Structure 1
């Protein structure tokens, strides 16, 4: 039995409305299939565009086996390439970010323009054709200030997501932002456990005292099941936003791969801070009030995000191993905001730094329990964990289709 058949059988055996079989959270074969069928074929959130604002700025990421570099060219366009020299395979850039007028391989100094063309390769002989040895491109799009990449030869359609995200994120002015702070941690848990934990607040009251000062753990307040389940408070909030031409109402992909909705924070809170007031004096974009709440946007498999009037927080996950996941968080503020004057970095970051560490502990304990031979899939709460059900149904449906099962999971 090969690894693909094994993963397919596990998915076909799973019980709808229940957590996944153990090996889908722990197994090397399952991770290999996840990478091949999802991570290498879907659009993955990479960086906020404001992280590389100038020509020559670059950022890198490791997507499974693929090292990728994202760079802003001299024409202002953002491009992505496989971070692999066309000579003998050396990584061109080993740093997470930086700036260079050209991309120069540190091994033998092969030099590439910012558009991927090979400019210089020493002593390669008369028959050498530099035009055939440019960097291999990676599909790359800038959607409303968020850069997505896809390493597939033919990426899936992204028009529906792009149209909605550009409309919903436009008032946040992400193109006029900057990265105020970045954190990367490694959680010792499968990527699906990391994402499952994010898709519910069933655990928030017991795990996130700082976050719960402003963010409600009432599932009706996070509209997990769509507008028909939304509270009257959210409906009133949406009416207020409509009057200000601020896109806010629940919108999602048919298979729930992505979703957007702007929801109010508790008791007219302005931001994710201990004081509940705005963390940044200089408001982002064109959002008309400090208490406009958070535009929540997630996209499977890689990201969840909060866009607030005073700042934005973008999150990216990348699988490292069957039971290790890299989680990167970036706090964005207006590009002209000055630290120490317009914002205090500790006040800006302390709530989500604490929340990230609390989530890390939850995920790692979850993984430790799932590893037990005594583990068996348990039922999700239809009310509290509707978002987790969306994730697991999306995952099982997509994997079933791509692994050749007759019908996708219900």
Structure 2
């Protein structure tokens, strides 16, 4: 159960800078984000073929011949996008595997992913395992699409710096190969995330593209949209009640034009040399600067996209967090001399709402409950350090 005081504390955590210095003055060679990607991929391939070590035990079943390649959504062919959309719709149609009656709003297998994220939110945001748990979570979703819905591809990502006009991008343009269009244009005052952010061109229900008319049932729990939109409250204080309503979006260019530019992304990777500063500055807004992670979420906004607990109910969540994982992967891999050190770094607490919480350990187990593939629940964080060790076998293109 989340009371008003906890919600206020979470808003403060989400929107206020942690106080960790995010921009060290150490000068390094300036690289474009494309150069960083190329270097990261080249080094990751060397690790895969054994010519470079990251200090970890590589997945013995992962080789250059079978490694999965995750691609940017706009780089997928129309047929590939169609297949991904089909698989997402499939998981949206399958019945929930959660205990009957425990979560009244969980109707589908897709909802299982939302419920687990809601339960895990305090321990997997603002903590040592933010990126590690979400890597595990995205992989479980990709695995479910492949094993439960016969998807042949891999999880695509959304390159934050790629689209100058996000509503018109292949992700949101509303055509049959998109992830659905923007919400209908409705008058609203934007949102409040520690400061007022202007309204985008949407705000209403999504009525174009493959996910037009999608029904949301869980949450809201910590919604950030204008109250004047009168998004219905959940009948349960914990957000797990059955609350059917439309998928809303307010896809906008406010954040992409100021905080998600290619130079913002390359600067963030190159100026944070330790994982503690890297992950804190990735997540925590300052009074004047939105963080990269929140900027991605709030570029979509809406309901449930603007709710930190229920945000996986937005189908583009998975593309956004695929990019979070890619951003971390680039940071860990692009410098050959620092690859071994960066890959194994682990730093931070264990509870977002308690700054004095116990320090996370690399041997801490991570949990996915009914989402985990067979035999894969409770994997230690140190098995999630690399995309080609532990249970993983993928790289980013």
Larger radius of gyration: 1
Identify the TM-score tier after normalising by the shorter chain.
under 0.3
The structure with the greater share of residues assigned to strand is: 1
TM-score of the two chains, using structure 1 as the length reference: 0.23
The structure with the greater share of residues assigned to helix is: 2
TM-score of the two chains, using structure 2 as the length reference: 0.23
